[in-house]
Homo-oligomer: A and B are copies of this chain.
Amino acid sequence: MRITALAGGIGGARFLRGLLAAEPAAQVTVIGNVGDDITLHGLRVCPDLDTVMYTLGGGIHEGQGWGRADETFSVAQELGAYGVGPDWFTLGDRDIATHLVRTQMLEAGYPLSAVTAALCTRWKPGVKLLPATDDRAETHVVVSDGEGRRAVHFQEYWVRLHAPAAESIAFVGAEQAKPAPGVLEAIAQADLILFPPSNPVVSIGAILAVPGIREALASSEGPVVGLSPIIGGAPVRGMADKVLAAVGVETSAAAVAEYYGADLLDGWLIHEGDAVQADRVRAAGIECRALPLLMTDTAATAAMATAALDLAARLGKK
């Protein structure tokens, strides 16, 4: 079974771990978000790709869901002593090694997809991990506060500003970006495509902003099944409510399904407590099931993945 999944950071990575537990024999390709990527201290940092790689490769800090286990912070402490900013984004020492390898390879001319493949030869995540694009396409958020109205990089919005009200979202560079090698093929050749419970705007949305990917999904033979990241009218974690508001979408499981639309989504899983919204999803032309959607452990997450695969199997080829 060939499965292609779009993924952001923590939510996507944890779902993928459940998927691999449920279907260890599946050939899984992951199209990872690069909209959060940022250059800090001259190092190219790809938080979502690394979260997937570390989570599936056994290197993740389980408690926080991002960054490396057994991390140390000597470099960050010294950068602080030099007064070199930004002080709101702390890179761990082990993590920095990943960024050093990546930055060197990028400077040597390798595309991000090749760099990611090289890093994965160490981590062996059990999936084929592809960046959505090898080009720069950065998610910026327009905010208005005491510092004025301005667009900030997503990391500044989330990590420094702690996700205040957002006016709008821009995927800077996305219009000129091309899908990375293998991305369109992975969508076209998949038996089914999954949208894990990742942020619909700044994770899945940033991937969809790369021209060609939305069209490939809309015309894929395999059904597309998603899992709601919104439970009980709120994101399980993160700031999806803030960025959904910025694109004029209500924070509810049904509204996110409508936002993706029936041209993208064939099936949508919502949390059992949101079952009352299932008819609204179906009215949008999207099949819907309600079941427990909290990724409390790998077994619970595997059950979610199995439910998504079951729904896809019922939907069959488009």
Contact = CB atoms under 8 A, between A and B. Distances in A.
Given A81-B122, A82-B122, A122-B83, A75 B101 contact: no
B100 A79 contact: yes
A96 interface: yes
Nearest to A108: B42
A40 to B, nearest CB: 10
How many subunits of this chain does the assembly comprise? 2
A42 B74 contact: no
Nearest to A92: B74
A93 B122 contact: no
A189 interface: no
A119 B84 CA distance: 11
A103 interface: yes
A77 B122 CA distance: 13
A192 to B, nearest CB: 33
A101 B97 CA distance: 16
A89 B81 CA distance: 25
A79 to B, nearest CB: 5
Interface string A31-60: 000000000011100000000000000000
Contacts of A94: 74-75, 77-78
Interface string A162-177: 0000000000000000
Contacts of A75: 75, 93-94, 96-97, 100
A72 interface: yes
B122 A97 contact: no
Contact of A101 (B72, B79, B98, B100): B79
A107 interface: yes
A72 B79 CA distance: 15
27 contacts: A41-B100, A41-B101, A41-B104, A42-B103, A42-B107, A43-B100, A72-B72, A72-B74, A74-B92, A74-B94, A75-B94, A75-B96, A75-B97, A75-B100, A76-B97, A77-B94, A77-B97, A78-B94, A78-B96, A78-B98, A79-B97, A81-B97, A82-B119, A82-B122, A84-B100, A84-B101, A96-B96
Interface of A: 41-43, 71-72, 74-79, 81-84, 92-94, 96-98, 100-101, 103-104, 107, 119, 122
Closest 3 CB pairs of A and B: A78-B97, A74-B93, A42-B104
